[in-house]
A and B are shown apart, each in its own frame.
Chain A
Amino acid sequence: MSFSLVKRWCETPLLRRVLQFKTYRRKILNYNMTYTLLRHRWMKRLPVLSSSFKMISTQTDKDAVDLSKFPADRIRNFCIIAHIDHGKSTLADRLLEMTGAIAKTEKNKQVLDKLQVERERGITVKAQTASLFYNHEGQQYLLNLIDTPGHVDFSYEVSRSISACQGVLLIVDANQGIQAQTVANFYLAFEAQLAIIPVINKIDLKNADPERVESQIEKVFDIPREECIRISAKLGTNVENVLQAVVDRIPPPEASIDDPFKALVFDSNFDHYRGVVANIAVFGGRVKKGDRIVSAYLGKTYEVNELGLLRPDEHSTGKLFAGQVGYIVAGMKDVKEAQIGDTLYLQEQPVEALPGFKPAKAMVFAGMYPMDQSEYQGLRSAIEKLTLNDSSVTVQRDSSLALGAGWRLGFLGLLHMEVFNQRLEQEYNASVIVTAPTVPYKAVLSSAKLIKEHGSKEITIVNPAQFPDRTVVSEYLEPMVLGTILAPDSYTGKIMSLCLNRRAVQKNMLYIDDQRVMMKYLFPLNEVVVDFYDLLKSLSSGYASFDYENAGYQAADLIKMDILLNGRPVEELITIVHRDRAYSSGKAMCERLKDSIPRQMFEIAVQAAIGSKVIARETIKAYKKNVLAKCYGGDITRKMKLLKKQAEGKKKMRLIGSVEVPKDAFINVLKRKQK
Chain B
Amino acid sequence: MMSLRAARRALSPGVRRFSDTSGGEIVEDVSERTGCAQLTTQASLYVHWPYCLRRCSYCNFNKYISRDNNDHMMTECLQKETETLLQLSQVSCVTSVFFGGGTPSLAHPSTVAAVLETVSGQASLSEKAEVTLEVNPTPVGMSKLEDFCRAGVNRFSIGVQSLQDDDLKILGRDHSSRQALQTIEEARRLCPGRVSVDVMFGRPKQSVESWENELSKLLRVCDDHMSLYQLTLERGTQLFKQVQGGEVTVPAEDVTAEMYQCARRTLHQHGFLQYEVSNFAKHQKAVSHHNMSYWKGRQYIGVGPGAHGRFVLPGEGGVAREARTQTLEPDVWMREVQQRGHGTRRRIQLNHLELLEEVLVMGMRMTEGINHKHWELFSPQLSLREVFGRSTDVQELLQSGRLILDDRGLRCSWDGLALLDSMLPALLVELERQISQRLQRDHHTDGQTKKTSNPR
Contact = CB atoms under 8 A, between A and B. Distances in A.
Interface of A: 600-602, 621, 623-637, 639-640, 643-644, 646-647, 649-651, 658
B27 interface: no
Contact of A601 (B46, B309, B400): B400
A42 to B, nearest CB: 64
Nearest to B277: A627
A630 B358 contact: no
Nearest to A655: B393
Contacts of A602: 400
Given A632-B294, A636-B361, 18 more contacts: A601-B400, A601-B419, A602-B400, A625-B253, A625-B256, A626-B420, A626-B422, A629-B229, A631-B365, A633-B44, A633-B294, A634-B308, A640-B357, A640-B358, A647-B424, A647-B426, A649-B425, A658-B396
Contacts of B428: 643-644, 647
A629 B278 contact: yes
Q: Which of A621, A628, A658 has the most chain B CB atoms closer than 10 A to its own CB?
A: A628
A630 to B, nearest CB: 6
A313 to B, nearest CB: 56
B429 A650 contact: yes
A621 to B, nearest CB: 8
A623 to B, nearest CB: 6
B310 A633 contact: yes
A627 B310 contact: no
Contacts of B258: 624
B321 to A, nearest CB: 13
Contacts of A633: 44, 46, 294, 300, 302, 308-310
Contact of B358 (A621, A624, A625, A636): A636
B419 A625 contact: yes
B285 to A, nearest CB: 21
B257 interface: yes
Nearest to B278: A629
A600 B254 contact: no
B167 interface: no
Contacts of A636: 294, 308, 358, 361-362
A600 B397 CA distance: 12
Contacts of A644: 357, 428
Q: Which of A635, A636, A647 has the most chain B CB atoms closer than 10 A to its own CB?
A: A647
B175 interface: no
Which 4 residue pairs spanning A and B have beta carbons closest together? A624-B257, A625-B257, A647-B428, A646-B425
Contacts of A623: 419, 422
Interface string B243-254: 000000000011
Given A647-B425, A647-B432, A631 B362 contact: yes
24 contacts: A601-B419, A624-B253, A624-B257, A624-B258, A624-B261, A624-B418, A625-B230, A627-B277, A628-B277, A628-B421, A631-B294, A632-B291, A633-B44, A633-B300, A636-B294, A636-B308, A636-B358, A636-B361, A639-B361, A643-B428, A644-B357, A646-B424, A650-B429, A658-B396
A650 B425 contact: yes
A625 B230 CA distance: 11
Interface in B339-397: 357-358, 361-362, 365, 396
Contacts of B421: 626-628, 643
Contacts of B309: 633
Q: Which of B308, B417, B425, B428 has the most chain A CB atoms closer than 10 A to its own CB?
A: B425
B211 interface: no
B80 to A, nearest CB: 21
A600 B357 CA distance: 22
B156 interface: no
Contacts of B213: none
Contact of A651 (B291, B402, B429): B429
Contacts of B325: 637
B323 interface: yes
B232 interface: yes
Contacts of A628: 232, 277, 421
A627 B420 contact: yes
B308 A627 contact: no
A387 to B, nearest CB: 41
A629 B428 CA distance: 20
A627 B428 CA distance: 15
Nearest to A646: B425
B148 interface: no
Contacts of A647: 424-426, 428-429, 432
A624 B254 contact: yes
A564 B46 CA distance: 52
A139 to B, nearest CB: 74
B417 A627 contact: yes
A650 B362 contact: no
Contacts of A639: 361
Contacts of B253: 624-625
Contact of A627 (B300, B396, B419): B419
Q: Which of A600, A623, A625 has the most chain B CB atoms closer than 10 A to its own CB?
A: A625
A273 B34 CA distance: 78
Interface in B390-437: 396, 400, 402, 417-426, 428-429, 432
Contacts of A626: 418-422
A51 to B, nearest CB: 67
A410 B2 CA distance: 91
B260 interface: yes
Contacts of A643: 361, 421, 424-425, 428
Contacts of A601: 400, 402, 419, 422-423
B336 to A, nearest CB: 19
A628 B229 CA distance: 9
A632 B98 CA distance: 11
Interface string B45-71: 010000000000000000000000000
Interface string B85-113: 00000000000000010000000000000
Contacts of B365: 627, 631
Q: Which of A633, A635, A639 has the most chain B CB atoms closer than 10 A to its own CB?
A: A633
A254 to B, nearest CB: 72
A231 to B, nearest CB: 55
Contacts of B230: 625, 629
Nearest to B357: A640
A75 to B, nearest CB: 69
Contacts of A600: 422
B278 A630 contact: yes
Given A623-B419, A631-B277, A650 B260 contact: no
A635 to B, nearest CB: 6
Contacts of A631: 277, 294, 361-362, 365
Contacts of A650: 425-426, 429
A629 B277 contact: yes
A637 B322 CA distance: 12
Q: Which of B254, B357, B418, B419 has the most chain A CB atoms closer than 10 A to its own CB?
A: B419
A645 B177 CA distance: 41
